């Protein structure tokens, strides 16, 4: 049985989503737990959240509401390495030049860590801005043989998942299916 398989795919998405991997309820409960963990880790310290667009927007919105810190700033940056269902091997970053991170604790919030290439480039770029510390948080950490050697650690992980292409809760297939309230396994043409 798949982790978190507690609901069926709505009829209108049956041709695109093979099955629900993580339900809306399960995601919500885990995000609250993760918010509490982050709050404890940064207790009494100002924290800057860098949400990585576009995939993390739902996760960032829910997570920041669950972090019990009075000094919390949220910014969004753009990083992209996907085309279709695979990594392009190139990471494009934008938006870091509009944020002053000097001497600040920074938490990069991603939707998914797959090969680790995007996270590697992001942590390197943020460190170069003289922040006090940089850590990472991801909704999904994919167990894959494609992980790059030397990939930096992910300090806060909501869910470990198998190496399958997933959509929903911000994750997309060619810009569609982001709006789903759950995470589902994408139905490829060969799986139909």
Contact between 93 and 77 under an 8 Å Cβ cutoff? The reply is: yes
Lowest-confidence segment of 66-75, 109-118, 183-192 by average pLDDT:
183-192
* pLDDT at residue 162, rounded to an integer: 93
Q: How many CA atoms lie within 13 A of 66 on its CB side?
A: 18
How many helices (H) and strands (E) would you count in the chain?
Answer: 3, 9
What Å distances lie between residue 2 and 21, 22, 150, CA to CA?
Answer: 6, 9, 30
pLDDT, greater one: 25 or 117? 25
pLDDT one-digit tens code per residue, 158-174: 999 999 999 999 999 99
For 120-159, write each residue's pLDDT tens digit: 999 999 999 999 999 999 999 998 776 677 788 899 999 9
Q: Is 154 exposed, middle or buried (0-12, 13-18, 19+ CB in 10 A)?
A: middle
Strands (E), 23-58: 47-53
Q: What pLDDT does residue 3 have?
A: 46
The answer to whether residues 117 and 91 touch, using CB atoms and an 8 Å cutoff, is yes
Chain centre distance of CA 190? 27
Tens of pLDDT, residues 101-113: 999 999 999 999 9
Q: Is the pLDDT reported for residue 191 higher than 70?
A: no
Helices (H), 102-163: 117-127
- Predicted local confidence at residue 62, as pLDDT: 98
Strand order, beta sheet including 47-53: 86-94, 72-83, 47-53, 105-113, 133-142, 156-161
DSSP state of 152: P
**Would you say residue 85 has pLDDT above 60?**
no
Q: How high is the pLDDT of residue 79?
A: 85
Cβ proximity of 140 and 168 under 8 Å: no
The domain spans of the chain are 25-165
Report, at the CATH architecture level, how domain 25-165 is classified: 3-Layer(aba) Sandwich (3.40)
pTM of the model: 0.88
Q: Catalytic one among 62, 111, 114, 172?
A: 114
Cα–Cα distance for residue pair 10/89, rounded to 1 Å: 33
Q: How would residue 83 be classed by pLDDT, with cut points 50, 70 and 90? A: low
- The length of the chain, given as a count of residues: 192
Active site residue 97: no
Helix (H, G, I), strand (E, B) or coil at 66: helix
Q: Is the pLDDT of residue 190 over 70?
A: no
Average pLDDT, the chain: 89
Please state the rounded mean pLDDT for residues 35-64: 96
């Amino acid at each position: 049985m798949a982790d978190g398989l507690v609901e069926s795919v709505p009829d209108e998405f049956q041709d695109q989503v093979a099955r629900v991997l993580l339900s809306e309820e399960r995601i919500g409960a885990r995000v609250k737990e993760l918010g509490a963990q982050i709050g404890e880790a940064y207790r009494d310290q100002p924290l800057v959240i860098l949400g990585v667009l576009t995939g993390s927007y739902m996760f960032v919105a829910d997570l920041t509401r669950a972090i019990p810190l009075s000094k919390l700033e949220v910014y969004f940056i753009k990083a992209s390495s996907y085309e279709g269902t695979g990594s392009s091997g190139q990471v494009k970053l934008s938006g870091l030049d509009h944020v002053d991170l000097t001497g600040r604790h920074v938490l990069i919030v991603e939707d998914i860590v797959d090969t680790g290439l995007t996270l590697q480039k992001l942590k390197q770029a943020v460190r170069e801005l003289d922040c006090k510390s940089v850590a990472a948080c991801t909704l999904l950490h994919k167990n894959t043989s494609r992980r790059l050697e030397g990939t930096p650690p992910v300090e806060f992980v909501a869910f470990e998942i198998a190496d399958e292409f997933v959509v929903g809760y911000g994750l997309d297939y060619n810009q569609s299916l982001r709006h789903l309230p759950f995470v589902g396994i994408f139905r490829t043409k060969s799986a139909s």
